[in-house]
């Protein structure tokens, strides 16, 4: 079952989402060559706590930081470190969550550091487009996998347009969200339409496609968190928290 929230509860989630949005905007601006991912993490935590919120990720099943900072071949769950210093041409995906008055916001962006290749820019754009296709499919009366199918179709179309077969990550995907960061249901990034629960006003989902410049196989590093592409290809990750409403999808983590 997917939890149904009142309008007031969705507005509380929107407030948390705005904290996340502001944090990611500041991190994006700060992600320059010579800056460590630990510095980005410190900035994120200061911003979240300064807004009266708490980082969702810090301490979550033992995760040691306030953001996930995944560089180049890292797909998700990268642990920030002083030793990980960004260089010109890097591609970094930053996932951020905040809890405000008990409600969660969750979003991710992929950031080009300095001057990156056209292939990397296209990869990030394709992933972002797939996310937005999923958002547009998050309408009352649709089925859960209508979102999955929209994400998959958009990713495949982008690959066709770019002349690249983007690898699609199937082991990781979106999720329900509310008073917990991860709630039912799991939202796959591929699938046939018309399956799963029917979407109803008051539901909230995190939609988060991940694409690669190679294959879709993944490996988890010895730190027990960082997920990388098995073939070493670069990856991108975009995410928004979205509410289902009678008036269409409401992106709770969009900028104000």
Residue 252 to residue 165: CA distance in whole angstroms: 31
The arithmetic mean of pLDDT across residues 2-20, rounded, is 97
Distance of CA 208 to the CA centre of its chain: 5
The arithmetic mean of pLDDT across residues 94-115, rounded, is 98
Give just the sign of the alpha carbon dihedral 47, 53, 54, 56.
negative
Q: What is the pLDDT of residues 172-228, one digit of tens each?
A: 999 999 999 999 999 999 999 999 999 999 999 999 999 999 999 999 999 999 999
**Residues near 201 by beta carbon (within 8 Å), at least 6 away in sequence:** 4, 140, 244, 245, 246
CA count, 13 A, side-chain hemisphere, 23 = 37
Element spanning 242, H or E: strand 240-243
Residue 128 to residue 60: CA distance in whole angstroms: 26
Q: What is the pLDDT of residues 123-170, one digit of tens each?
A: 999 999 999 999 999 999 999 999 999 999 999 999 999 999 999 999
Residue 130 to residue 51: CA distance in whole angstroms: 30
How would DSSP label each residue in 171-210? SS-EEE-SSSSSEEEEE-SS--SS-SSBP-TT-EEEE--E
Quote the tokens at residue 159.
Answer: 């690959």
Report the chain's terminal Cα–Cα distance, integer Å.
30
Angle between helices 144-162 and 118-136 (to 10 degrees): 150
Q: Note the pLDDT of residue 57.
A: 98
Q: Which residue has the tokens 């905040």?
A: 98
- In order of 1, 69, 142, 214, 235, the CA distances from 74 in angstroms are 32, 9, 33, 13, 7
Q: Where are the alpha helices (DSSP H) in the chain?
A: 7-30, 37-50, 118-136, 144-162
Q: How much is the mean pLDDT over the chain? A: 98
- Cβ atoms of 34 and 123 within 8 Å: the answer is no
Q: Note the pLDDT of residue 1.
A: 80
C-alpha angle 222-229-192 in degrees, rounded to nearest 5: 120
């Amino acid at each position: 079952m997917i939890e149904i929230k009142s309008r007031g509860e969705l507005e509380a989630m929107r407030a948390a989402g705005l904290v996340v949005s502001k944090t990611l905007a500041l991190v994006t601006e700060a992600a320059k060559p010579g800056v460590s991912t630990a510095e980005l993490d410190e900035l994120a935590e200061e911003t979240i706590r300064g807004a009266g919120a708490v980082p969702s990720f810090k301490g979550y099943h033992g995760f040691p930081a306030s953001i996930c900072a995944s560089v180049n071949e890292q797909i998700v769950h990268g642990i920030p470190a002083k030793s990980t210093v960004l260089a010109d041409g890097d591609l970094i995906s930053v996932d951020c969550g905040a809890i405000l008055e008990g409600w969660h916001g969750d979003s991710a962006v992929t950031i080009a550091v300095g001057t990156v290749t056209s292939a990397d820019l296209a990869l990030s754009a394709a992933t972002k487009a797939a996310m937005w296709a999923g958002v547009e499919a998050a309408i009352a009366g649709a089925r859960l996998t209508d979102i999955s199918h929209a994400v998959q179709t958009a990713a495949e179309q982008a690959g066709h347009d770019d002349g690249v077969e983007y690898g699609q990550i199937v082991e990781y995907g979106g999720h329900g969200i509310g008073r917990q960061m991860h709630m039912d249901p799991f939202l796959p990034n591929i699938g046939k339409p018309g399956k799963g629960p029917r979407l109803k006003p008051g539901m909230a989902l995190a939609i988060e496609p991940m694409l690669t410049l190679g294959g879709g196989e993944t490996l988890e590093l010895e730190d027990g968190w960082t997920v990388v592409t098995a073939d070493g290809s670069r990856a991108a990750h975009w995410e928004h928290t979205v509410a289902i409403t009678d008036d269409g999808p409401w992106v709770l983590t969009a900028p104000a």
